[in-house]
Amino acid sequence: MFKEVRQRKITQKIIDQIRSAILEGKLAPGDKLPPEKELVGQFQVSKQTLREAMRALEHIGLIDVRKGVGGGAFIIEVDIQVTKQSLANYLYFKNLTIEDLSEFRRLMEPYAARRAAEQISAAELEKLKALNDAARENLRRRNMAAARRDEFNFHRFLADVPKNPLIVLVLDFAESLLDDFKKLFEPDTAFFESVQEAHDRIYDAVARGDPQRAFDEMHQHIVQVEAQLVKLKEGINLKKLYAKIN
C-alpha cells in the first residue's frame, strides 16, 4: 500500500501517504494499520522514524494507538475539537482581531441563516427554539455562563442545518474564537440582552421561512456585536494605559 520514502522531511511524507490512503478510500475509520515491522519495510525507514510519524498522526487525531492484545494503530475519524485546536494554535500567532473575525462572520453566517430558513425541518426548528428559550431563561436568572453556552449553540445549530461539514467546521471554529473574545472583554448583561433580542428576531425569520429576513437579521446582529466588542476592546486598552500612567 505504501512506498519507500528517502527524501527530506521523511516523517511528513509518511503522514501524507497515510492521509492520501484515507482520502482515496483505501483506509477508513476502524481499519488497523499493518504491524510496525511491515510498515518499516514498506516505507524503508527506521523504527524511530516510523514511531515519530505515528506519534504525529496520533497527535493530529488520525490514528489511535492501542496497547495489549489486539492493539496497534487504528484509523479514527478526526474529532472537530482537535481540528479547532489546531486552527486556533495557528491563528494565535497571526494577531487575529475582533474585526478580522467579524469580517469572516459577515461573509458566512448570514448565508447559513438563509439556508436554515429555506430548509429547516420541524424537528430542527423545535430544537432551535429550545436553545433560544434556554438562553433567555438563563439570562433572566443571570446565569451568564449558561446563557453564553446556549448562545454559542444557537449559532452552531443554525450552521449545522445545511448539513455541509465545511460550514459546520468553520462556523463552529469562528464561534469558539468569538467566545474567547467575550471571555477576554467581559461584556455586561446589557450586551447579552441585545444578543438575545437579535436571536429572537433571527429565530422568528427562520421559523417563518423568510430567507432574506434571516440573512439580514444575522448580518445586522454580527455588525452590532462587532461594534460592541470593539468598544470594549478599546476600554481594556485605556485601562491598561491608565494603569501604566499611575
pLDDT tens sequence across 135-145 = 999 999 999 88
Residue 32 main-chain phi, psi, to 5 deg = -100, 130
What structural domains and CATH numbers belong to the chain?
10-75 (1.10.10.10), 81-245 (1.20.120.530)
CA distances (Å), 190 to each of 101, 142, 148, in order?
A: 22, 11, 13
Residue 196: name the closest of 146, 234, 241 by CA. 146
**Angle between helical axes of 165-185 and 80-91 (0-180°, round to 10):** 60
Question: What pLDDT, on the 0 to 100 scale, is given for residue 234?
Answer: 79
Residue 205: name the closest of 74, 116, 72, 84 by CA. 116
> pLDDT at residue 77 above 90?
no
Instruction: Please tell me the least confidently modeled range out of 54-63, 85-94, 175-184.
Output: 85-94
With a pLDDT cut of 70, the percent of the chain lying above it is 93
Residue 218: name the closest of 99, 133, 129, 107 by CA. 107
Question: What pLDDT, on the 0 to 100 scale, is given for residue 244?
Answer: 44
**149 Cβ contact partners less than 8 Å away, ≥ 6 residues apart:** none
Q: How far is CA 53 from the centre of its chain?
A: 26
Mean pLDDT in residue range 115-134: 97
Residue 57 main-chain phi, psi, to 5 deg = -65, -35
Cα(202)–Cα(212) distance, rounded to whole angstroms? 11
User: For residue 63, what are the β-bridge partners?
Assistant: 75
Contact by Cβ (8 Å): 214, 206: yes
Contact by Cβ (8 Å): 121, 150: no
With residue 66 as reference, give the H or E element that holds it.
strand 63-66
Mean pLDDT in residue range 150-160: 94
pTM higher than 0.85: no
Residue 105: name the closest of 163, 165, 156, 164 by CA. 156
Instruction: Please tell me the least confidently modeled range out of 18-27, 193-202, 203-212.
Output: 18-27
Q: What is the average pLDDT value for the chain, to the nearest integer?
A: 88
Ramachandran area for residue 163 (φ above 0: left; ψ -120 to 50: alpha; else beta):
left
Mean pLDDT in residue range 183-200: 93
Mean pLDDT in residue range 212-219: 98
Cα(126)–Cα(206) distance, rounded to whole angstroms? 11
Residue 154: name the closest of 218, 100, 220, 86 by CA. 218
pLDDT band at 238 (very low <50, low <70, confident <90, very high): very low
Question: What pLDDT, on the 0 to 100 scale, is given for residue 7?
Answer: 58
